[in-house]
Amino acid sequence: MSEITDFDSLRRAMAENGEQPEGPARNARAEQLLVEAERLDIPLAVIEALGHQLKVYNYSSEKAKMFVPFARLLRMWDERPGDFDEYETHSLHWVFKWMSAGMLDQPHVPLASVEKWLAEMEHRYRLAGHSTRAVRSAEFTVAAHVGDVERAERAFSAWLAADRDTMADCHACELHGQGWWQAERGRDAEALALWAPVLEGEYTCAHEPHTVLASSLVPLLRLGRPEEARAHHLRGFRLVRSMESMRGAYADHVEFCALTGNEARGLELLAERPAYFTDEGHPHSKLEFLSVVALLMGRLSELGLAGQRVPGPTGREWTALELAEHARVEALALAARFDERNGTSYVSERARARMDRQPLVERLPLGVRAARPASAVAATGAAAPAPVQEAVEPELAVLLAEARRLSDTLQPHAVEAWARVARLAEEVDGVELEARDRAEIADHEAIGLGPDGAAAFEHAAELYARAGDPGEALAARSRAAYVRALTGEIDEALAAVAEPYDRVLALYAEGDTEVPQAAGVLMGRARILMRRVHEAEGEVVDEAVLAEAEAAVRELLALVEGRAGTDVRLAARVAEGHAMLAELATHSGNPEAGAELFARAAAEFIATGLPWFAVEYEARLAGLAHQLGDMRQAERALRAALEHGGPYLEAVGRAQLHLQLAEVVGGRGEAEEAAEHALEAAHWADEAGAGPTLGAWARHQLGGFLVRQGRWAEAAEVLESALAELTAETHGDGAVVQTQWWLGDCLSELGEHRDAAERRLQAAEIARHWPEQHDHATLAHLAAESLGQAGLPTEADQAYARAGELWRGLGNVHGLVRSLRARAWLALRTEDGTDTARDLMTSAVEECADAFDAADDDEARLRLVSELGHTHRQFGDLLARSAAEDADDDSIRATLEEALSQMAEAVAVFVALGEGTVHARTGAELAAGWLETDLGRPAAAAARARAVLRAYADAEADADPDAYGGSDEDGEHGTVRARRAEAEQLLQAAEEQKGR
């Protein structure tokens, strides 16, 4: 910490403190600096130190401390206004606004005092000649706070009608306040329209768009625009996360989580800010925070999680129920203090309304990891309660009929329907089910048991036999054999199915069983043989195995094709048989036939009225189409699978389909739709409990698609979330590196250069071990850029040097030259670094020349010549900037001559390259022209200006109207206009120089 010895060192110390994070440490330093200022015995030093104190208090949780330094400043102004310079005079009047709002947020300050200060502010503004705009804005805030709607509307209108002057809040803050009032009055669309310039980045400040993003969340949800709300949450929370003074905006984000089914993320937000529960410096934001805590805890209690442990005030453990009660009591007590001061009940009414809000969206996926809270039963591990018996039980016959209808038509939930029949039969005294009924109950119980259902199927077979249906008994035995195959006992399963197979064929031949029963046995045997094929997945399958399986499938199809009629079960056998043939074709090396057969099977299931059975085969079709390069077919199949699966798809299956569709859609450049599918994939993976595996991969993909759209803040949140679970072991180190890379790009775009450098260096360290080093070199280069932008020139130079060596090893001259140029510019920023900078630029020129001599490809030579031109141009710029202002005239002139020589070389190179480099040539020509004026050569400067004007003389009359970008001011047309304007300016400067 530097010692304060004079006014300049005090100012430097205050500037350094102003750059520190908000909080008590920064405030304490400001207090210490005031003591140091008083020791200097300079009135303006004390005034500036008091103003610094005011600022850091205002942007912290200790806002209540503002009043003392302000009162002292005001007294000093009244006694000796001459001690204030122009800036501090402006600042004193500016912070009057902070005082009126600050007093309003402190319930111990009487309302009469607030009104008195409002009048004092108006009086002093009038004396100083300021507009009443800021005064009316402050009056509006007072009226809105106490619930005086009529006065608030009058003040609001007067605020907007008054002229803007230097005392008015910045555009961004004013628009926030105006939009807040519209939303408060239920005019959400008007609010969003007012906020648009802030949200789009037209107006910004230290706290905007932070607060606008937070305030927009609920209005967007109410307007039915949840996707925008999600984007604003991800973008806005990133902005407020580290700002201690923004407890109110932070509360808006917690509220958003509570209203969108993201209770788990809400808990994570609370855990990040334990001090927000207890900080007393700003009671109004504490009221807002506690209100949404009560809302969130209420939601958890409604979900059956009242007993879940949650983050709360330090010193004890909290359950959701306990914290809900505590937060509600504390919030209402604070609200009551405000209402007692205001003489209204308005603040309490608003607090209650906020605490009792109902969700606006049942579940809004955010893309960041946060598992949905489990039900109370799952959380405690308690047994599920028995269903409440209805007052009048349905007739058993009705339940039987419904269960049989569902099973005969292969509808979902048939297993559950038969289970209900079984429960009712046990509960009702004197009921004896028929053997057939008990057989079907056992059969469906076995289906529900999956691979563990062999014994239940055998029991069903016995019951079918007792019921006089030997064919169905054999079918049940074949199902028992198949589930054994599912556990890997394929040979045993084949042995077990042999007898039922022989017997059912004999029965069918004798007319003692029907097609459905015989088909059931043949299907069981075919499925077992297909399991043997599956066991060889990824390996070459023995042709005999394939042939035996295919024969079994064709035998099944020979039995059932043409005989299905209206029998859904037989039609399903036909479709499944074709799907089996599709698998066999694929295993035989004929994916085209496989794709055709999968498409046929899916179509048959759909035609039969069983679209949910088509999903598996549509997914398989998509995979084959992808393999065959038919992306349109793959996309159609995936969309169909999602549509046909409907509510019957399991969460993990839905996640996989959305993820595959994201990759396909993203592959054809539709990043926005791809992001939507990746978002859905992440959500369903979390729902399935696969967040750390499939979910992390989906978040990785989602982040990449957001990056492609330039949605940097959203992408950063998602990618950081993905990195918490991505691992090289599960997802591959390539995925980890790519995620770090994307995140580094995001952080760089957001101006977080130090963090961007860290991410890029981490990725480079992994890529360092890869056989191919291009990614390593690129990441090292990008990390160097970030280090330089973060103000770490030494570290940046080291990283550029590392990248340069990697580029050299790869034979990439362009990368090497650019790293040398970057190092040269860094060297110029250091003391006595001019000679080093020159040497590095000279090396860059030499590397280009050497590579040109060694190149044996015309295109490569052209690229190297272009690189040489840019290097000469940058060398000239660097030399021009290196001309020290305190050097003697001859030294400066010699440096400028050298710079001009490099610029002339650049112009010559670009001229040789032709029209393709016209903009590079004119840029260098203009730079050379300005150097000519610096050297006192107006004629030469004018000649260069005219050369630029000639280069663009026919631009607008070009035969191709789009040749220079059409009307795109940011494209080539804009460049042409800018260059022409600069050339005219140079020409005028040269003419004026001639006349002197």
For residue range 924-973, list pLDDT tens digits in order.
Answer: 999 999 999 999 999 999 999 999 999 888 555 443 444 443 344 456 67
Q: If residue 319 lies in a helix (H) or strand (E), which one and from where to where?
A: strand 318-319
Structure-token match 């110029």, residue found: 828
DSSP for residue 375: P
Write down the pLDDT at residue 380.
32
Q: Among 45, 159, 138, which residue's Cα sits nearest to residue 96?
A: 138
Cα–Cα distance, 35 to 775 (Å, whole number) = 54
Write down the pLDDT at residue 916.
81
Cα–Cα distance, 385 to 632 (Å, whole number) = 49
Alpha carbon 774 to chain centroid distance?
A: 28
Alpha carbon 749 to chain centroid distance?
A: 14
Angle between helices 96-104 and 43-58 (to 10 degrees): 40
Cα–Cα distance, 556 to 580 (Å, whole number) = 11
CB 823 within 8 A of CB 847: no
Strand partners, 208: 205
- Rounded to 5 degrees, what are φ and ψ at 790? -85, 0
Cα–Cα distance, 726 to 681 (Å, whole number) = 16
This prediction's pTM: 0.82
Buried b (16+ CB within 10 A) or exposed e, 361-385: beebbbbbbbeebeebeeeeeeeee
Quick check: helix, strand or coil at residue 208? Answer: strand
Regions of the chain with pLDDT less than 70: 1-2, 370-394, 430, 537-540, 884-888, 954-972, 996
Cα–Cα distance, 43 to 81 (Å, whole number) = 11
User: Please, is 325 exposed, middle or buried when counting C-beta atoms within 10 Å of its C-beta (0-12, 13-18, 19+)?
Assistant: middle
Quick check: helix, strand or coil at residue 351? Answer: helix
CB 334 within 8 A of CB 325: no
Residue 945 is encoded by which pair of tokens? Answer: 């200006």
Residue 915 is encoded by which pair of tokens? Answer: 């029209």
Strand partners, 319: 309
Residue 295 is encoded by which pair of tokens? Answer: 């809302």
Quick check: helix, strand or coil at residue 971? Answer: coil
Q: Among 13, 55, 72, which residue's Cα sits nearest to residue 37?
A: 13
Residue 595 is encoded by which pair of tokens? Answer: 């794709």
Cα–Cα distance, 222 to 513 (Å, whole number) = 62
Which residue type, as a one-letter code, is found at position 347?
V
Q: Among 366, 353, 347, which residue's Cα sits nearest to residue 295?
A: 353
CB 637 within 8 A of CB 625: yes
Structure-token match 């269903």, residue found: 387
**One-character DSSP codes across 291-318:** HHHHHHHHHHHHTT-TTSEE--STTS-E
Quick check: helix, strand or coil at residue 365? Answer: coil
How far are the Cα atoms of 220, 609, 696 from residue 732, in angstroms, in the given order?
39, 42, 12
Write down the pLDDT at residue 805.
95
Q: How wide is the angle at C-alpha 228 spanned by C-alphas 223 and 232, nearest 5°?
A: 115
CB 296 within 8 A of CB 266: yes
3-state secondary structure 255-295: HHHHHCCCHHHHHHHHHHCHHHHCCCCCHHHHHHHHHHHHH
Q: If residue 882 lies in a helix (H) or strand (E), which one and from where to where?
A: helix 858-882
CB 776 within 8 A of CB 763: no
Cα–Cα distance, 868 to 870 (Å, whole number) = 5
Task: Count the neighbouring beta carbons within 10 Å of the beta carbon of residue 281.
Answer: 21
Cα–Cα distance, 630 to 263 (Å, whole number) = 42
First to last CA, the chain: 53
**One-character DSSP codes across 666-727:** HHTT-HHHHHHHHHHHHHHHHHTT-IIIIIHHHHHHHHHHHHHTT-HHHHHHHHHHHHTT--
Q: Among 393, 388, 398, 400, which residue's Cα sits nearest to residue 428?
A: 393
User: Please, is 886 exposed, middle or buried when counting C-beta atoms within 10 Å of its C-beta (0-12, 13-18, 19+)?
Assistant: exposed
- Rounded to 5 degrees, what are φ and ψ at 586? -65, -45
Task: Count the neighbouring beta carbons within 10 Å of the beta carbon of residue 897.
Answer: 12
H helix and E strand count, the chain = 48, 2
Cα–Cα distance, 120 to 100 (Å, whole number) = 10
* ω into 209 cis (within 30 of 0): yes
Cα–Cα distance, 921 to 207 (Å, whole number) = 43
User: Please, is 737 exposed, middle or buried when counting C-beta atoms within 10 Å of its C-beta (0-12, 13-18, 19+)?
Assistant: buried
Task: Count the neighbouring beta carbons within 10 Å of the beta carbon of residue 15.
Answer: 10
CB 948 within 8 A of CB 922: yes
Q: How wide is the angle at C-alpha 713 spanned by C-alphas 60 and 968, nearest 5°?
A: 120
CB half-sphere exposure, 939, CA atoms < 13 A: 0
3-state secondary structure 453-512: CHHHHHHHHHHHHHCCCHHHHHHHHHHHHHHHHHCCCHHHHHHHHHHHHHHHHHHHHHCC
